[in-house]
Structure 1
Amino acid sequence: MTRPETDLRARLARLTPQQRAALKARLAPPPEEELPLSPAQFGIWLFEQLQPGSTAYHNPAAVRLRGRLDADAVREALWYEAGRHEALRCRVVENDEGLPVHAPVDGDAVDFTVTEVPGADEAALLRAVTASARRPFDLERGPLWRAALIRAAPDDHVLVVTFHHLISDGWTLGLFLREFLAAYGALSAGRTPALPPLPASYADAVRAVRTPAARRAESLRHWKEVLAGAPTAIALPGRRPSDGIGRQGGSVVFTLDAAETAGLRAACRARGISLFSGVTALFLDWLRRHTGQNDLVVTTAVADRRAPETQQTIGCFLNTVPVRVRLPEEGDRDALLGRTGAAVADAVAHADVPFGEICAAVGQASRGEDAISNVMVLHANVDDDEQRAAGLRLTRYPVPLIASKHDLGLLITPGRDRIRCELEYREGVLAEDHLADVVRALSAAAAAAGAPDV
């Protein structure tokens, strides 16, 4: 006669990832207290209240999958991730006091669609990817992420996963894709995924990044000193205040080749700075030449993943910080790289003050997304190199710009031997010749960075 507990274990072992996720959500104890949004999340939520249906805070990633694909295993791997990460089962609602808080999704935690683009039509494939990335989220209903599998041919698919920034950051994209591929590999081979358990709950991770009041006050004093007398905007060459520039924009993608990347990487290593700082330095030098400004402030996003509870947790654990660089005389490559590297390191070290508090402290809270600066530089946490997993060949599929949150932005994605750069801009901020020039200038500067000083 079968013992009841043995029979129960056997029945649990037969559950699909979708069924396990539903069971886990149903059996989870109710939270002891409401989980409010972090300051960064609150700023995003407030923007959504002012511009409902906006796509400005969509966070998409897409990969092209070539080879024999098991669509059922894809679906089960997505459900496995939903059961593993509480943020993927969250929505945002207002409590009795009208404040936004996390709440569990009432219905399915996975929004997954499968569509087909016949005839290997690349233009139609791009439109399908873009449409999925742009579809608005309902914050109160949830879920705040979705996935679409688009079939171009029997052995050619694109998987596009779109998160709302309320539950994700740049770190999330890389983490999710790594875990998804591990889960898919197991499920497509008929095995149960065996990823290590998460070190903490989502609520614990959110609470772990709250900075003590004394430390926040210290960092806030630091930011007041750093930004004293700083310019409030970069006068981009094509920007005219009377243009009535909106949020529509475009992007230009270019790649620093192997030789250019190797030269810049060597120059950064010799000066003890990050590759991100090196590319930022070259970008600031281009801005200086075209604006005449030697004192420049840009913003960047820093993932606050210092607490162990956050390392393997999907969620929005980021903050925006200013980077102020007083540029040296033109041609002083060593000082350019050194000053930029020091400024980036300083910004990261004082990233524990919510950006809204920094803006308020320097009198720029009313400027919205362009507070402190109208130019942003970002580091992408997605592998840009080709990968192989579970019999598939994976390459990144570029998702077109959805909406531009700033006048100008540079997204930097380092690979093994190349650096992918995407220049994002609002309509009217740069003329066509400026767009072409920034590509030429950064490529030439990267190549020159590794050359001996003369």
Structure 2
Amino acid sequence: MRQFPLEELETSPGSVVQWRPRIRPDAVSGRSGERASFNQAKHYSSIRGSRLAGDPLASWLAVTFEVEGEPDLAALEAAVLLLVRRHEVLRCEFERLAGDLSCAVHGADDIELSRVERGFFASSTELLGFLGDEFRRGIDTLAWPLCMAGAVVRPGAPATVYLAFDHIVSDGMSMLYVIDEVQRAYRAYSRGEEPDLAEAGGYVDFARDQRDRYLEIGADDHRLAHWRRFAENNGGVFPRFSPDLGVEPGRTYPVLSEAGQLLDAEETAAFEAACRAEGGRLFMGLLATVGTTLREEGGREVYRGLMPVSERDRTGRQSAIGWFVNTLPIEFPVSAGLDFGGLVRGVRDAFEEMMRHAEVPFVRVWELLAPEHFDRHSWPYPVNFFSYIDTRKFPGAESHPGWKPALHVWASRSNGANSWFVRDAAGLHFNSLYASTPRARAVMAGIHETLRRTLREMAAAGLVSAR
């Protein structure tokens, strides 16, 4: 499974059937007064604030995949409905009350799906343009429902299924569980059986627990010691992306999304072996290479960046849908005198130190240690950000070649650059979203080329040593 822009999806023309959750006419009132998580509250206020400021931000996450054989639309509709009913975060309707973000949770049995036939699309370009427009119009942080689904149906051929979500109810890892869960439920329903799915756990409970733990802490709390040291070394909480992207302070820009393959499967395995030989893991060698690439392109001798980590394992909600991400600071040397082994070990030590201080939510850190920037609806300046995921480790990965799953991330505007790195059975891939300025386009092209070349050189060395 890769992550790339929706418009790059290889698909065929077909007829579109679309579903959206809605409240049943005979529904009883849901559970009200629940508090949103810190991520959700900040996301909502940023979107709302950007609109009030006349610089509207918007975003969505989507997955596409195929279901095998002649599609059973009734079974697929039942699978989508089950997804919304099982995961209460998809039934949350948000409202700002008394300065905080509250959510009402609609009851599972109060949800049904509206079904609309959207017509036939005669070309892939027309189809993908329609889907992109639908996601932009239909996914709105400030309005429920916060997800939609559909299928592109072709006579005698597999259907392409799509599901799109606002970030306030999902994250990238959630998308992998969505694919597996919908596929499993679809297969069961198409056989006339009930799906056998384990208890998923709830994000609303997670948000409540998070607020109970961290709402009252102060800037001098001992759990913020690692962040305070990082901020002192960095000159602030936010590590600046370097080299310069040519963005003006206080401005956001349209986003350019670029994706590609860095290594094939054999090269990725060789690079991983080289990392393990130095006592590290693949993502550590990758992050070390990113750090040296940035230095070569005009960056600094010490890499400082933000790194998202999943909170699912720590909270026992492994297969739940929600924004289970904390963002943590990492720093390590990337000076020219270090060899690959020294770089990897530096990342390993920095990562282990980072994970010892993974408790406090990033949004609370932002509010407590950088209050002067907290009311902003975007980063104060381009921020260094690195994300990695190995999709082979998720449920259903053995079926990915047949399902052809893909993750698509879209954002309307940005003042920086974010890069996601994804490993699958075919190798190692990247997707970068960044502010589309002339300088940024040139800088990112150089970074991608240097990174690809450096990784392939390391992989080639690993292949030679393995032989």
CA deviation vs aligned residue, 1:277-320 (integer Å, no higher than 9, x gap): 32222112111111241123222222211345422322222222
Residue 220 of structure 1 pairs with residue 220 of structure 2: no
Aligned to 1:183: 185
CA deviation vs aligned residue, 1:366-396 (integer Å, no higher than 9, x gap): 165325862321234756998648xx93113
Quick check: 2:188–2:195 contact (8 Å CA) kept in 1?
yes
Residue 370 of structure 1 pairs with residue 397 of structure 2: no
Aligned to 1:7: none
- Output the CA distance in 1 between the equivalents of 2:358 and 2:244: 30
Quick check: 2:243–2:299 contact (8 Å CA) kept in 1?
no
Aligned to 1:279: 286
**Local SS of the residue matching 1:92:** strand
Stretch moving more, 437-446 or 184-193: 437-446
CA deviation vs aligned residue, 1:117-148 (integer Å, no higher than 9, x gap): 544x2222321332233224355651211112
Shift of 1:414: 0.8
Aligned to 1:83: 85
- Output the CA distance in 1 between the equivalents of 2:377 and 2:356: 24
Amino acid at match of 1:222: H
Stretch moving more, 48-57 or 420-429: 48-57
Quick check: 1:64–1:397 contact (8 Å CA) kept in 2?
no
- Output the CA distance in 2 between the equivalents of 1:110 and 1:255: 40
Q: Percent identity?
A: 20
CA deviation vs aligned residue, 1:327-362 (integer Å, no higher than 9, x gap): 232552112222223323333332222223333454
Aligned to 1:438: 447
Q: How does 1:34-183 map to 2 (within 5 A)?
A: 34-52=33-51, 56-65=58-67, 67-95=69-97, 97-105=98-106, 108=111, 110=113, 113-119=116-122, 121-139=123-141, 141-151=143-153, 154-183=156-185
Shift of 1:171: 2.2
| Counterparts in 2 of 1:386 and 1:309: CA distance versus 1, 3 Å | closer
Quick check: 1:407–1:425 contact (8 Å CA) kept in 2?
yes
- Output the CA distance in 1 between the equivalents of 2:57 and 2:116: 19
CA deviation vs aligned residue, 1:71-121 (integer Å, no higher than 9, x gap): 2211110011122111121111234x34211113497454665545544x2
- Output the CA distance in 1 between the equivalents of 2:227 and 2:167: 25
Aligned to 1:13: none
Quick check: 1:365–1:371 contact (8 Å CA) kept in 2?
no
Shift of 1:441: 2.1
| Counterparts in 2 of 1:70 and 1:401: CA distance versus 1, 3 Å | same
Amino acid at match of 2:129: R
Shift of 1:154: 4.4
| Counterparts in 2 of 1:357 and 1:89: CA distance versus 1, 3 Å | closer
| Counterparts in 2 of 1:330 and 1:138: CA distance versus 1, 3 Å | same
Quick check: 1:256–1:418 contact (8 Å CA) kept in 2?
yes
| Counterparts in 2 of 1:368 and 1:124: CA distance versus 1, 3 Å | same
Residue 263 of structure 1 pairs with residue 264 of structure 2: no
Residue 230 of structure 1 pairs with residue 229 of structure 2: no
Q: In the comparison of the two structures, how many residue pairs are matched?
A: 427
Shift of 1:219: 2.6
- Output the CA distance in 1 between the equivalents of 2:189 and 2:59: 32
| Counterparts in 2 of 1:379 and 1:82: CA distance versus 1, 3 Å | same
Quick check: 1:408–1:429 contact (8 Å CA) kept in 2?
no
RMSD between aligned alpha carbons? 3.6
Aligned to 2:416: 407
- Output the CA distance in 1 between the equivalents of 2:39 and 2:421: 22
Aligned to 2:4: none
Aligned to 1:300: 307
Shift of 1:264: 1.7
| Counterparts in 2 of 1:137 and 1:387: CA distance versus 1, 3 Å | same
**5+ unaligned residues in a row in structure 2: which ranges?**
1-18
**5+ unaligned residues in a row in structure 1: which ranges?**
1-17
TM-score (norm 2): 0.79
Aligned to 2:8: none
Aligned to 1:5: none
Shift of 1:152: 5.4
- Output the CA distance in 1 between the equivalents of 2:188 and 2:226: 49
Higher relative contact order (CA closer than 8 Å, sequence separation 6+): 2
Quick check: 2:139–2:165 contact (8 Å CA) kept in 1?
no
- Output the CA distance in 2 between the equivalents of 1:170 and 1:236: 27
Shift of 1:270: 2.5
- Output the CA distance in 2 between the equivalents of 1:64 and 1:55: 31
Residue 204 of structure 1 pairs with residue 205 of structure 2: yes
Residue 291 of structure 1 pairs with residue 292 of structure 2: no
Quick check: 1:258–1:418 contact (8 Å CA) kept in 2?
yes
Quick check: 1:169–1:318 contact (8 Å CA) kept in 2?
yes
Aligned to 2:9: none
Quick check: 1:237–1:429 contact (8 Å CA) kept in 2?
no
Residue 336 of structure 1 pairs with residue 337 of structure 2: no
Quick check: 1:182–1:193 contact (8 Å CA) kept in 2?
yes
Structure (1 or 2) with the greater strand fraction: 2
**Local SS of the residue matching 1:321:** strand
**Local SS of the residue matching 1:276:** helix
| Counterparts in 2 of 1:281 and 1:175: CA distance versus 1, 3 Å | same
CA deviation vs aligned residue, 1:152-209 (integer Å, no higher than 9, x gap): 56414322211112211222111111111110010111111121234x5544333344
| Counterparts in 2 of 1:306 and 1:373: CA distance versus 1, 3 Å | farther
- Output the CA distance in 2 between the equivalents of 1:83 and 1:186: 17
Quick check: 2:253–2:414 contact (8 Å CA) kept in 1?
no
Stretch moving more, 233-242 or 121-130: 233-242
Shift of 1:224: 0.6
Quick check: 1:90–1:102 contact (8 Å CA) kept in 2?
yes
- Aligned counterpart in structure 2 of residue 354 of structure 1, from 361, 386, 393: 361
**Local SS of the residue matching 1:353:** coil
Aligned to 2:16: none
